[in-house]
């Protein structure tokens, strides 16, 4: 038991160190690069998440767990009077605060340093909505984090959680790499059944399941978006519509699970 706790603590520290070091670079890539994986990733997630946020409507208090440099806090602030972003990497929080000050959002965006598993210092029943995007895979105790989110949400409060789909062929190969050399200490991807089970066991009711598709398809989509690659405008427009529709349709009906990189779930506190 003691050994298990030690391993968890060691993994936690390794992940923290990784993100403290990566903060500056990750932020720069997101802000400047055009064809960057993180940027494409964010755009594809946003296509899935924005309709869910719109459906919930404007609420008072939002929280973004594992906020990084505040990417999702900045999205959430359009739907909440006030947003708190929490991350354990101080460098991330520093950058997020600077961005909030630069964009004049400092009074509505608050950032704090803290552990996504405990969410200590945050009051029970105080948030209307929580986002938890691409964080669960790093956590030694995934269940604890979802329990903590449940604790701080108001009754019937919403959670949007994004996890990496272990059932996806591309992620399976990534997982193998992590097992061999582990660039980041923990990368525990979840299957659809696993994450649904975890949410139900931690006091949530799953409302909607959406899938975000494979990287290669993202890049195909970018290709279609480029007039340089497809100069014939009517064809380009038609392909864009077809790709968009097919992607949305497959994600909605959860077909071809192995082709979807990420799982997005809208859940509600019971
Ligand atoms: C892949 S990044 C995602 C960042 C952001 N949510 C996004 O989608 O751009 C994972 C984030 O989780 C944070 N993180 C990992 N483990 C954490 C923990 N135990 N407590 C708080 N934050 C954590 C990292 O610092 C990092 O910012």
Atom of ligand 1 nearest to the CA of 145: 19
* Maximum average pLDDT range among 35-44, 87-96, 170-179: 87-96
Long-range contacts of 146-151 (CB under 8 A, 24+ apart): 146/198, 146/199, 146/202, 146/204, 147/202, 147/203, 148/116, 148/117, 148/118, 148/119, 149/63, 149/65, 149/119, 149/202, 150/202, 150/203, 150/204, 150/269, 151/119, 151/124, 151/125
> For atom 27 of ligand 1, which residue has the closest CA?
68
Q: Residues 70-77: what's their mean pLDDT?
A: 96
Q: Residues 110-129: what's their mean pLDDT?
A: 98
Q: Residues 113-125: what's their mean pLDDT?
A: 98
Q: Which residue has the higher pLDDT, 110 or 31?
A: 110
What CATH code is carried by the domain that includes residue 217?
A: 3.40.50.150
Where does the pLDDT of residue 182 fall: very low under 50, low under 70, confident under 90, or very high at 90 and above? very low
pLDDT in tens, 202-243: 999 999 998 887 555 556 666 666 777 788 889 888 887 787
CA of 17 to the centre of ligand 1 (A): 12
Atom of ligand 1 nearest to the CA of 71: 9
Q: For strands 260-269 and 80-87, give the pairing.
A: unpaired
> For atom 23 of ligand 1, which residue has the closest CA?
66
What distance lies between CA 131 and its chain's CA centroid? 7
Query: How far, in Å, CA of 183 to CA of 18, rounded?
Result: 8
- Among 76, 74, 80, 78, residue whose Cα is nearest residue 59: 80
Q: What percent of the chain has pLDDT over 70?
A: 80
Q: Which domain holds residue 148?
A: 2-269
Residue 254: is its pLDDT beyond 80? no
CA of 136 to the centre of ligand 1 (A): 8
Atom of ligand 1 nearest to the CA of 140: 19
Ligand 1-lining residues (CB < 6 angstroms): 12, 15, 19, 66-68, 71-72, 87-89, 92, 115-117, 133-135, 138-139
> For atom 4 of ligand 1, which residue has the closest CA?
68
CA of 19 to the centre of ligand 1 (A): 8
CA of 207 to the centre of ligand 1 (A): 24
Query: How far, in Å, CA of 144 to CA of 138, rounded?
Result: 13
Residue 34: is its pLDDT beyond 60? no
pLDDT in tens, 10-30: 889 988 998 998 888 878 767
Give the model's pLDDT for residue 232: 87
Q: What pTM was estimated for this model as a whole?
A: 0.86
Identify which of 9, 14, 18, 19 to mutate to test ligand 1's pocket (most ligand atoms within 8 A of the CB): 19
Give the model's pLDDT for residue 2: 81
Where does the pLDDT of residue 122 fall: very low under 50, low under 70, confident under 90, or very high at 90 and above? very high
In total, how many domains does the chain have?
Answer: 1
């Amino acid at each position: 038991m003691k050994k298990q706790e030690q391993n968890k603590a060691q993994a936690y520290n390794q992940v923290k160190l990784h993100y403290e070091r990566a903060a500056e670079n990750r932020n720069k890539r997101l802000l400047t690069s055009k064809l960057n994986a993180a940027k494409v990733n964010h755009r594809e997630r946003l296509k899935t998440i924005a309709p869910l946020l719109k459906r919930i409507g404007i609420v008072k208090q939002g929280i973004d767990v594992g906020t990084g440099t505040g990417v999702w806090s900045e999205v959430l602030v359009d739907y909440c009077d006030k947003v708190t972003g929490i991350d354990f990497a101080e460098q991330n929080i520093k950058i997020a605060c600077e961005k909030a000050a630069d964009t004049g959002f400092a009074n509505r965006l608050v950032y704090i340093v803290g552990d996504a598993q405990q969410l200590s210092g945050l009051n029970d029943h105080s948030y209307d909505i929580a986002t938890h995007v691409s964080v669960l895979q790093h956590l030694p105790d995934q269940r604890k984090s979802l329990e903590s989110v449940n604790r701080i949400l108001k009754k019937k409060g919403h959670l949007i959680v994004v996890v990496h789909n272990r059932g996806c062929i591309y992620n399976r190969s990534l997982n193998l790499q992590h097992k061999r050399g582990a660039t980041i200490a923990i990368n525990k991807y979840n299957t659809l059944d696993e994450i649904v089970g975890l949410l139900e066991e931690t006091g949530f009711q799953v409302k909607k399941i959406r899938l975000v598709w494979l990287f290669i398809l993202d890049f195909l989509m970018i290709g279609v978006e480029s007039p340089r690659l497809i100069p014939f405008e009517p064809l380009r427009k038609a392909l864009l519509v077809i790709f968009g529709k097919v992607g949305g349709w497959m994600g909605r009906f959860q077909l071809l699970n192995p082709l979807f990189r990420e799982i997005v779930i809208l859940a509600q506190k019971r």
